Homo-oligomer: A and B are copies of this chain.
């Protein structure tokens, strides 16, 4: 048993079942050890941004970490953007970053870099192995720390000699840390404040948006209290009889207009809402002036239980009011986010997982699927586009029996387009819908919102993806996936019905203009 064997056995003992990887020379012993650890499934991704995004999607759906295998500082750095999104999703992930052998690091070979410095901003814990036994010990620590609470990336830097040297023992089995029980005083304070407030709102996020918290939030709504979710929620069960609250609008002025007159904001599983970006002469904090803020439960607490206790304390009804949702009619005519949303609501099967990186197209679809068949919605939590395809991969690996529907803008999709190959390689049950509007459309909106003026030739060239137009069916086929391009709402509806009705991967290019 070498260090790599001991690490993998320890990870498997701690429940790790998937390894998303893009290895290099310094990880060869880890790669070889995967042959001897059948409990962990290796999944090759052709770029590290796919690796880390897949680990995020896996962690959101499995509720436990996958392990990533990354090649020194540059390999890790390629995965940072999606680890940033995962940090904002509080997803448990164990990153193993291969490094030069301990004795080799001082020579500053070409691939040497300051891995710890690169990893620090997106790691809730970092361990640097000193020898093989230490590496195995750290593997268990990494799993434990990945759970938080709240969850996050635990990073294990693994010098090559710690992997190839003999190990004498595995690491232990770490106890999973649990979120703190709700604080009775906070629950009482929130109940009192809600009773006294004229126009209160309860803002939920993170763990409060899981099944238990949502059900309790639905009881609060049935009691007459307005409930909102964060704009971007890591994983939100929706559809069917589930309570589906509104979410905070993305744009600051819309959020503040929506909240006008609110005199109390109770926060559960989240923190004070702030604008995604600053704009000239626009406030940063999305709480109306004079509105009291009160935290019911932070991210490290059991916000779902706290909401339940709050609903009980208020004597709220036992259940949320029914949705009153009607399945949309078959859409016709020009294809747009509304017609696509209607088709998705019509055809997606029960337990679909939606990976949303659709940017400007996401909200109309979110609205229309409110009461569709039960599904999970995984949002872009950290604003770093390129999450959609990778997160879909991870969700599909975590949930092989569920249909995964990836919604991605064309600009966002190009960031991690290599993920299509992994979907093909693993025959994942993923339908990728690409919103081909041939632009960074959100930036066209933001350019005017920031007061930067009308775009001239240079500015316009930096927002436009239309010259040349990207042919997503060619890209998909080039990576081994079937693909179809739809030009009308009717064609899309038919293509999506087909994709939803059978197993296996496909790419649907929705021609938006």
Contacts and interface: CB of A to CB of B under 8 A. Distances in A.
A195 interface: no
Interface string A21-59: 101111011011011100000101011010000000000
Interface stretch (A218-226, A340-348, A459-467, A492-500): A459-467
A443 to B, nearest CB: 7
A189 interface: no
A50 to B, nearest CB: 10
A160 B278 contact: yes
B284 A107 contact: yes
A504 interface: no
A253 B120 CA distance: 36
A74 B25 contact: no
A360 interface: no
A192 interface: no
Interface string A120-160: 11100000000000000000000000000000000000001
A104 interface: yes
A458 B101 CA distance: 24
A77 B80 contact: yes
Contact of A46 (B78, B107, B118, B465): B465
A180 interface: no
A402 interface: no
A462 B42 contact: yes
Contacts of A474: 474-475, 477-478
A295 interface: no
B103 A161 contact: no
Contacts of A77: 77, 80-81, 84
Q: Counting chain B CB atoms within 10 Å of each CB, which of A24, A117, A459, A469 scores highest?
A: A459
A383 B32 contact: no
Which of A47, A88, A473, A480 has its CB near the most chain B CB atoms (within 10 A)? A47
B450 A164 contact: yes
Give how many copies assemble into the complex.
2
Nearest to A463: B31
A377 interface: no
A121 B110 contact: no
Interface stretch (A304-312, A314-322, A417-425): A417-425
A344 B303 CA distance: 65
B100 A23 contact: no
Interface stretch (A9-17, A236-244, A269-277, A363-371): A269-277
Contacts of A88: 110
Interface string A445-469: 0110011110111110111110111
B32 A452 contact: yes
A136 to B, nearest CB: 18
A280 interface: yes
Given A28-B447, A122-B113, A458-B34, A103 B414 contact: no
Interface centre among A275, A277, A477 (most CB of B within 10 A): A277
A197 interface: no
A31 B468 contact: no
A111 B28 contact: no
A448 to B, nearest CB: 9
Contacts of A114: 120-121
Nearest to A29: B452
B160 A411 contact: no
A457 B34 CA distance: 9
Contacts of A477: 471, 474
Contacts of A411: 46
A75 interface: yes
A225 to B, nearest CB: 26
A172 interface: no
A21 B462 contact: yes
A486 interface: no
Chain A to chain B: the 7 pairs with minimum beta-carbon distance, closest first: A468-B480, A474-B478, A35-B456, A77-B80, A74-B384, A101-B278, A104-B278
Interface of A: 21, 23-26, 28-29, 31-32, 34-36, 42, 44, 46-47, 49, 72-75, 77-78, 80-81, 84-85, 88, 100-101, 103-104, 107-111, 113-114, 117-118, 120-122, 160-161, 164, 232, 271-272, 274-278, 280, 284-285, 381-384, 386, 411, 414-415, 417-418, 421, 424-425, 442-443, 446-447, 450-453, 455-459, 461-465, 467-475, 477-480
29 contacts: A24-B446, A25-B442, A26-B278, A31-B455, A32-B447, A32-B456, A35-B459, A44-B461, A47-B414, A74-B80, A74-B383, A77-B84, A84-B111, A88-B110, A100-B277, A104-B274, A104-B275, A108-B271, A109-B276, A111-B382, A111-B384, A160-B450, A161-B280, A164-B451, A415-B418, A425-B467, A425-B468, A472-B478, A475-B478
